[in-house]
Amino acid sequence: MRGEQTNDVLYALRDGRRRAVLQLLRNRTEPISDEEVAVHLAAADAEKRLLDVTEDELAEWRVSLRQTHLPVLEEAGLIDWDAETNAVAVSTHPALQNPTLERIVETDGVDWDEVLGALVHRRRRIALSVLADYDTALSRVALARAVVEREPGTETVETADADPVEDCCAALHHVHLPKLAAAGLVSYDARSGAVSYCGHPLIEDTEWFDLHLPETPRAVLSVAEPSQDIWRLDGRANVIEHCRALCEYADDELFLLYTDEDLIEAACLRCLQDAVDRGVDVYVGTQTQAIRDRVREQVPGVTLWEPQRDWMNISPEREKVGRLLFADREAIMLGTLSKHNDHGIQNETAITGAGEDNALVMLVRELLGSRLDHLDEQSADFLEEIPF
Amino acid sequence: MSDTDRSPSAAAHEYQLAPDESPSRGVWSVVAVLEDCPPPELPSLAETIDPEALDAAFIGTTATDHVSFEYAGYTITVTSDAVRARALECDAG
């Protein structure tokens, strides 16, 4: 069953045979014939060399690939399948760049079927992300209420007496919570109605349940176009890399804000030193004494200042801003940190924009305005005017 | 849907599915009415049958004609547009 609530990508990946197809194709630079895919998978399945695969083994794979798995992968947009030549290749679908999905496709010997089968339904992903936000058990009704609140355009059945929360509560009890419990993602006491989050050892990142994971692209509005102005970076390593690139990009001025000491990596300080050496004016703002001390000691050429408001920590329960970089007032990166997961790890993501006409750049330039020019004066009057 | 006969010994109760209502929802709705309790207080349907597999059976060109199973003291018969519930005591005589 694949209604609106079903994610095509997860549906395609929930079957180990389809994950095997993707794994095979990802390692190829050229399209290969569907027959060749069948030979490889039949051999891997029977743990044989390619030449030793029997005609029976091959026939079974040939049929299931052509009838089921390749069409499903194609429909999800994960592969390109040329109907005339029967050549198959991985597509450029953004989901294939998602680190969690990559790990799922590349990790052999883990049974993802049940987990992905549980995550396939949007309501279950929303329920999980709600539960992951709580340390304690939630009642079924409280969960239903929170799920309905987060569901975009809640689906209710068109019957006279349908109340969305009651309806969701019933569906959770009869369908969704048993599925999540079977996959080991939640524990559910059907009698008391208490639900709590268990998590999965291989899915560290609970934000994943909110599915930043791209759906198969389709326009939300016919007039809407995907933005080329704002880019999204996922994962600490990518954020640091971009951070470094921005530091190198700056010719005149580099403005940075940090909230978390852990974010000032040694490599970062070296980049700042390089910028100072090139003659760039570098400003580092932070409320954390430890960061100021460290920067003052290791990169003495930097102008330090202390933001007046702890605006970056407004909501410790949710994502918070981790760092902001503004280079030459025309390129920007805003990094956010998720809350700590069970392993004490925070995931970092960032949005970036570049160019004087970029909306994000313009916003921050307007907010900071000419006040940026007076940071080094450390005048109380000026600092009070800084919105950060 | 007509007025509900609350008597558990009613021979059979038929529930017409709304156009976009899933068969599984029909099952817990009709039994909840017969048992006079909110749907979440019934045993979870998932313990008896995979609700999504049940719904999938009635979708598409190869849709099933009907599915029967026992749930919460009733024999349930699902077709593409209705759910029929018959109390098990009646079958036993």
- Does the pLDDT value for residue B3 go beyond 80? no
Query: Is B3 within the bounds of a domain?
Result: no
Please name the member of B29, B39, B56 whose beta carbon is closest to the beta carbon of A173. B39
Residue B92 confidence (pLDDT): 47
Query: Is B4 within the bounds of a domain?
Result: no
Structural domain range at position B74: 13-92
State how many domains chain B has.
1
Could you give the 3-state DSSP secondary structure of residue A320?
strand
- In angstroms, what separates the C-alpha of A124 from chain B's closest C-alpha? 13
User: Is there a contact between B25 and A190 if contact means CB atoms under 8 Å apart?
Assistant: no
The listed CATH number (1.10.10, 1.10.3470, 1.20.1050, 1.10.150) that belongs to domain A117-201: 1.10.10
Enumerate residues 199 to 258 of chain A having a beta carbon within 8 A of any beta carbon in chain B.
none
Query: Is B26 within the bounds of a domain?
Result: yes
CATH topology for A231-385 is Endonuclease; Chain A (3.30.870)
Which ipTM value was assigned to this complex? 0.85
Residue A240 confidence (pLDDT): 82
DSSP result, A81-105: E-TTT-EEEE---GGGG-HHHHHHH
Residues of A in contact with B81 (CB under 8 A): none
Residues of B in contact with A140 (CB under 8 A): 40
Over the stretch B12-71, which tens digit does the pLDDT of each residue have? Answer: 899 999 888 999 999 999 999 999 999 999 999 999 999 999 998 988 777 788 999 999
Query: Is B49 within the bounds of a domain?
Result: yes
Query: Is B68 within the bounds of a domain?
Result: yes
Residue that has been written with the tokens 């994943």 in this structure: A208
The listed CATH number (3.40.109.10, 1.10.10.10, 3.40.47.10, 1.20.140.10) that belongs to domain A8-93: 1.10.10.10
In which element (H, E) is residue A240 found? helix A236-249
User: Is there a contact between B18 and A157 if contact means CB atoms under 8 Å apart?
Assistant: yes
Q: Which of B1, B4, B21, B25 to mutate to test the interface with A (most CBs of A within 10 A)?
A: B25
Distance CA A353, CA A331 (A): 6
Burial of A379 (0-12, 13-18, 19+ CB in 10 A): exposed
Query: Is B47 within the bounds of a domain?
Result: yes
Q: Which of A155, A157, A189 to mutate to test the interface with B (most CBs of B within 10 A)?
A: A157
Residue A194 CA to its chain's centroid (Å): 29
Give start-end residues of each CATH 1.10.10.10 domain in chain A: 8-93
Could you give the 3-state DSSP secondary structure of residue A184?
coil
Over the stretch A112-163, which tens digit does the pLDDT of each residue have? Answer: 888 888 888 889 988 988 888 887 899 999 999 999 888 876 555 555 457 8
